[in-house]
Structure 1
Amino acid sequence: MSEPKVVLITGASSGIGAACAHHIVKAGHKVAIAARSIDKLANLVDELGKDHALAIECDVTSLDEQKAMIEKAVEHYGKVDVVFANAGLGASAAGTENGDPDNFKTMIDTNVFGATLTAHVAIPVLKKSKGHLVMTGSRAGRATLSGSVYGATKWYIRGYVQNLRQELSGTGVRVSNLEPGMVDTPFFDDEKPQALRADDIARAFVFMIDQPATAMVADMLVIPTPPVED
């Protein structure tokens, strides 16, 4: 195996982020996990092992906290090879007319502004490592969902990844959009038995980042297999 990568994940305290951390360590890499819930991160580090994982408390809507996040990861590991802008928030009610404006603001601050800040602080470090920036998009960023502010935030990610790819062309930095369909995670209040599992997305993520330097998985849409009809 080649030299282990150092992978920094935002929104890593549960769901897709936590599953990715487990699969990254299983694949032989190191991980820095960031989120607001430091207690959950500490428990995850205990599961992964302190030799393999570092917990960093971070609110992605704060530029100062994101700067500190990337600095702590580099100080601890000496480098960062992959940054996964995964922190995200869903809608508390469907549509725009019946939605909650406070939720709109929090969702846009996290899904749009927070992801943009992650790219901003990550790019200088990834240029040094010829690394990889991955963002969590969504199937919702490829569809028209009636009045969905959440879907609009994922349309932003889809377009922004393409713009970043152009900006970073020639630097050796790869930029990818990982687009899950519905995933059964704490993102939802009730169970989604026909949905993807967080482990499904984690395996896709590891596939993305383990490609040789000559290949870039630009966009990966992962959707649930339709149930077998009786």
Structure 2
Amino acid sequence: MPAPKVWFITGASTGLGRAMTELVLKNGDIAVATLRKPEALAGLSAQYASDRLLVLKLDVTSRDEIAAAFARTKETFGRADIVFNNAGYGVATEVEYAYEHDQLVRDVFEVNFWGAAHMTQAAIKFFREVNGPSIGGHLLQNSSMFAIESMPCVGYYCSTKFALEGLSEALSKELDPSWNIKVTIIKAGFLATDIHARADFIDALPAYAQSPAASARENLYSYAKNPIGGDPEKAVEAFYRLTRLPDPPLHFILGKDAIELIKRKIATLTLAMDSYASWSEGLERTGNPEEESRVSE
């Protein structure tokens, strides 16, 4: 029987983080569950021994707390096989209106992008220096289908996911294959979690009352009260299965809505590219570049 895997999970108090923690424990693996308020997992801590569940306080905006959490993981278990980089939340506002609430928007970037980036750095270093290539590691980056196409009223949230996507793709190309470190960017569609209920809703800008942003905002209000989408427990089961693959994908798309959104985006980009492809003809520089540079001076 294979040895249990050690999972390091951020944002473990609710949503996908909580569901993943429970699944890992149910499957006989070990969970390092991190969250800002450890008391939220008091019930789970009562059910599982300390050699199965380690609950740690971690605010991903604190590099010191990230370092301390990985140090405690090393001290307790000696390794972390999988890091589920999941912590995050949203803010609803028109792009234009965010200047009135600059700090709220910056805070979302601090958690969703910079917090995730600092977690990424710490995880990769841990995989390389603590685990070593005999163990390696698998980093699951919880992105979103909205890292591919933004929707109205959550442009800043979407932007954090676009940024995380770009960072993760670059990272995947920087890693030495001999380190045995895998990266998977998860692009899931709507899942019936409480993420909308935890979002910060900034009052609507009156000028946008008849715009697409208004209907998008109403949908977000509705989702906050009655979450829609796929089953979070089934989603984390899919994420879990990914970690059992010998060669997991860099991009993992989950949900029929995510698949349809990405197909539409590909079609839109293809049309835009093909429609104006001829405009790229003749862009090549002619003559001697050094000569042209002297003339321009």
TM-score if structure 1 supplies the norm length? 0.90
How far is 1:205 from its partner? 1.4
SS in 1 for 2:253: strand
Q: What is aligned with 1:220?
A: 252
Asked whether the equivalents of residues 137 and 154 of structure 1 are also in contact (C-alpha less than 8 Å), the reply is: yes
Question: Equivalent residues in 2 for 1:125-204 (5 A)?
Answer: 125-127=126-128, 128=132, 129-146=135-152, 148-170=155-177, 171-189=179-197, 190-192=224-226, 194-204=228-238
SS in 2 for 1:66: helix
Q: What amino acid is the match of 1:198?
A: P
How far is 1:132 from its partner? 0.7
Deviations 1:60-112 (A, max 9, x none): 00111000011111111111111111110111x23212343222111000000
Q: What amino acid is the match of 1:77?
A: F
Deviations 1:126-154 (A, max 9, x none): 12231111111001101132460100111
SS in 1 for 2:64: helix
Q: What is aligned with 1:206?
A: 240
SS in 1 for 2:93: coil
Q: What amino acid is the match of 1:95?
A: E
SS in 2 for 1:153: helix
Distance change in 2, residues 1:187/1:12 (3 Å): same
Q: Return 5+ residue gaps in structure 2 as ranges.
A: 198-223, 259-297
User: How far apart are the structure 1 equivalents of 2:38 and 2:256?
Assistant: 31
User: How far apart are the structure 2 equivalents of 1:199 and 1:219?
Assistant: 20
The alignment yields a C-alpha RMSD, in angstroms, of 1.9
User: How far apart are the structure 2 equivalents of 1:193 and 1:225?
Assistant: 15
The worse-fitting range, judged by mean Cα deviation, of 3-12 and 94-103 is 94-103
Pick the structure with more helix per residue: 2
Which one has a bigger Cα radius of gyration? Answer: 2
User: How far apart are the structure 1 equivalents of 2:79 and 2:190?
Assistant: 33
Asked whether the equivalents of residues 34 and 41 of structure 1 are also in contact (C-alpha less than 8 Å), the reply is: no
User: How far apart are the structure 1 equivalents of 2:36 and 2:110?
Assistant: 14
SS in 1 for 2:183: strand
Aligned residues: 223
How far is 1:185 from its partner? 1.5
User: How far apart are the structure 2 equivalents of 1:178 and 1:197?
Assistant: 16
User: How far apart are the structure 2 equivalents of 1:35 and 1:117?
Assistant: 15
Asked whether the equivalents of residues 13 and 44 of structure 1 are also in contact (C-alpha less than 8 Å), the reply is: no
How far is 1:224 from its partner? 5.2
Question: Equivalent residues in 2 for 1:15-26 (5 A)?
Answer: 15-26=15-26
SS in 2 for 1:28: coil
Question: Equivalent residues in 2 for 1:76-91 (5 A)?
Answer: 76-91=76-91
User: How far apart are the structure 2 equivalents of 1:218 and 1:48?
Assistant: 33
How far is 1:2 from its partner? 1.8
SS in 2 for 1:98: helix
Distance change in 2, residues 1:197/1:165 (3 Å): same
How far is 1:209 from its partner? 1.1
Q: What amino acid is the match of 2:127?
A: L
User: How far apart are the structure 2 equivalents of 1:49 and 1:210?
Assistant: 25
Q: What is aligned with 1:104?
A: 105
Q: Return 5+ residue gaps in structure 1 as ranges.
A: none
Q: What amino acid is the match of 1:6?
A: V
Q: What amino acid is the match of 1:142?
A: I
The worse-fitting range, judged by mean Cα deviation, of 131-140 and 19-28 is 19-28
Asked whether the equivalents of residues 189 and 257 of structure 2 are also in contact (C-alpha less than 8 Å), the reply is: no
